[in-house]
Copies of this chain bind each other. A is one copy, B any other.
Amino acid sequence: MPGGDMAKPLLDHQNADSNSSLAPAAESRTIGILGSGDFARSLSMRLVCSGFKVVVGSRNPKRNASLFPSAVEVTVQADAIKKADIVFVAIFREHYTTLYDLNSELSGKILVDVSNNAEINHHKESNAEYLASLFPACTVVKGFNVISSWTLQSGPRDGNKQVFICCDNQEAKQAVAEIAHALGFTPVDMGALFSAREIENIPLRLLPAWKIPVFLALGLFLCFYTYNFIRQVLHPYIREKKNKFYKIPVEIVNTTLPCVAYVMLSLVYLPGVLAAIFQLYHCTKYRRFPDWLDQWLQHRKQIGLLSFFCAALHAVYSLCLPMRRSHRYLLLNEAVKQVEKKTDAWVEEEVWRMEIYISFGIMALGLLSLLAITSLPSISNSLNWREFSFVQSTLGFVALVISTLHTLTYGWTRAFDENQYKFYLPPTFTLTLLVPCTIILAKLFFHLSCMNQRLQRIRNGWERSRYVNFTLPRASGEFSSGESSSTV
């Protein structure tokens, strides 16, 4: 073979090559698989491609052999178990007991439980612990359950690379971790088999970080919608017998959305202020924040994105206003009146009010869209700490200030107009101003007073006590810009 003599020494380096699909490190190892479903087939394919020998144990090997790649040996279960030290158990939990007959063959083997449940905490004990209790002579390793057949076939992608593994035996865990590594995945050690429940719940999670923020947004929406409905529809109907019910689908939604967006945006920056007060009060940063504050700090990204979503919807709704029939009809009726009055329709103050608040609104939306874009994983990962903090913290605060100006100019003098207090209810915008204005004032107070300096010192590790902790300056910015710096 030409070139063969030089290729030899290279082969000694092959162990290093485990990340590649060409990796031959595992060449001589045999892996067993019990089961012949989608997962078993995809796993066998990937194992073969990564250089493993694969032997599949099936109850009906002749019938199922055709389902597997030809390089895979399909045989009866007992035979497959004998040939391999590591056996993937790719069958339902309900069928674990069918393996009882193979108890003696399985003894001493490493069983990899790859199963998933249909719902969170479905069974009292995790599938892996159940398997371990059935076969006490085996070492059970939980793993690969987060990987779908599809990912096995198409190769690991960025976010689906992690394989969570747990086992009571360190060496068995290591062996399975290496298989994961050889297949191109990143094994993550989750500790003892006790963690199997947690691992089994991972693929059943449904956007857990979004739950609270979404319910918060829906709750705020309902409250503000009811409030606006009472003021804008119910009040004219009861007091003046005017039918304004046509406002329900668009106009009331459009006065509700900005309230939600604005309050949510302020809720992104409120926990930062609370954390600063907490740190100033306790004069240390080494005290753990209360749980609710910690949770809040960690949900800021989701709250902010929902705020942007509401703001964007508000923009679209607003832009739709002049397109509607109702707008057209009102305009026509006004034109008829105008012709009768024969005066100039122009009201300078109203013109200025609207030009200014539209202008602020667009600016705030533009800034928020920049914040949303830098929240995309592929972009935020390419920013350094200072850049991320500048965009999310500084630009975000500017967006909050501009939103406040948008709200104030929208309100103009209405807060002081008696007629606006329908059923003694103040105009909606006045309600939303409370939190944001507090935050802006608090931030101003921190910046103007000596508090800022003190806060910096605290975040650099300073405490009231004599001893000065050594801390890197980098740590100082970490709290204010999105990550909770509470110590564990």
A472's partner among B1, B92, B173, B473 (CB-CB below 8 A) is B92
Indicate if the CB atoms of B348 and A2 lie closer than 8 Å: no
A206 and B386 form a contact (CB under 8 A): yes
Instruction: Scan A387-402; emit 1 where CB is below 8 A from any B CB, else 0.
Output: 1001000000000000
User: What is the 8 Å Cβ interface bit string for chain A, positions 97-119, against chain B (1 contact, 0 not)?
Assistant: 00000000001111000111110
Say whether A407 faces chain B, with CB atoms less than 8 Å apart: no
Contact A18 B21 (CB under 8 A): no
Partner-contacting stretch, out of A222-230, A232-240, A317-325: A317-325
Contact in complex: B14, A174 (CB < 8 Å): yes
Q: A180 → chain B, closest Cβ, in Å?
A: 8
Interface segment out of the listed A264-272, A273-281, A326-334, A431-439: A326-334
A358 with B189: CB separation less than 8 A: no
Measured between beta carbons, the chain B residues less than 8 angstroms from A21 are 186-189
Kindly state the interface size class of chain A when it binds its partner: 35 or more
- Contact status A181-B461, CB under 8 Å: no
**C-alpha spacing A322/B324, complex, angstroms:** 9
A66-B232 Cα distance, complex, nearest whole Å: 59
Query: Which of B169, B204, B316 contacts A3 (CB under 8 A)?
Result: B169
Q: A261 to nearest B CB, angstroms?
A: 13
Q: How many copies altogether?
A: 3
Q: State whether A472 touches B319 (Cβ < 8 A).
A: no
Check if A385 sits within 8 Å of B203, measured CB to CB: yes
Q: Which of B146, B204, B366, B470 contacts A40 (CB 8 A)?
A: B470
Shortest beta-carbon distance, A254 to chain B, in Å?
Answer: 10
Would A475 and B37 count as touching, CB distance under 8 A?
yes
The reply on A17 being an interface residue by CB < 8 A is: yes
Majority secondary structure of chain A interface residues (helix, strand, loop or mixed): helix
Q: Closest Cβ of chain B: how far from A385's Cβ, in Å?
A: 5
> Which residues of chain B come closer than 8 Å to A381, judged between CB atoms?
157-160
- On whether the beta carbons of A309 and B10 are closer than 8 Å, the reply is no
Give the CA-CA distance A3 to B81 in the complex, in Å.
Answer: 13
Find chain B residues with CB under 8 A from A134 CB. none
Once bound together, how far apart are the Cα atoms of A115 and B471, in whole Å? 10
Interface string of A153-167 (1 = CB under 8 A from B): 000011110000100
Among listed A339-347, A413-421, A444-452, interface-contacting one: A339-347
Task: Output the least CB separation between A328 and chain B (Å).
Answer: 7
CB distance from A124 to the nearest CB of B (A): 18
Decide: A10 and B174 in contact? CB cutoff 8 A: yes
How close is A355's CB to chain B, nearest CB, in angstroms?
A: 4
A203 near B386 with CB under 8 A, answer: yes
Contact B110 A3 (CB under 8 A): yes
Distance between Cα atoms of A384 and B116 in the complex (Å): 13
A366 to B313, CA, bound (A): 7
- A37: which B residues are within 8 A, CB to CB? 461, 469-472, 475
The 9 tightest CB contacts between A and B, nearest first, are: A37-B471, A159-B381, A6-B85, A378-B378, A7-B171, A249-B359, A159-B382, A332-B345, A91-B470
A–B complex contacts, Cβ < 8 Å, 17 sampled: A2-B139, A3-B171, A7-B175, A8-B171, A16-B181, A19-B186, A35-B471, A39-B475, A92-B472, A92-B473, A149-B485, A158-B377, A249-B355, A249-B356, A250-B359, A325-B347, A325-B351
Having A39-B472, A115-B472, A331-B331, one finds 18 other A-B pairs with CB under 8 Å, namely A3-B139, A3-B171, A4-B172, A6-B85, A6-B86, A17-B178, A19-B181, A21-B186, A92-B472, A116-B473, A148-B478, A157-B377, A246-B348, A320-B358, A322-B323, A333-B338, A377-B382, A378-B378
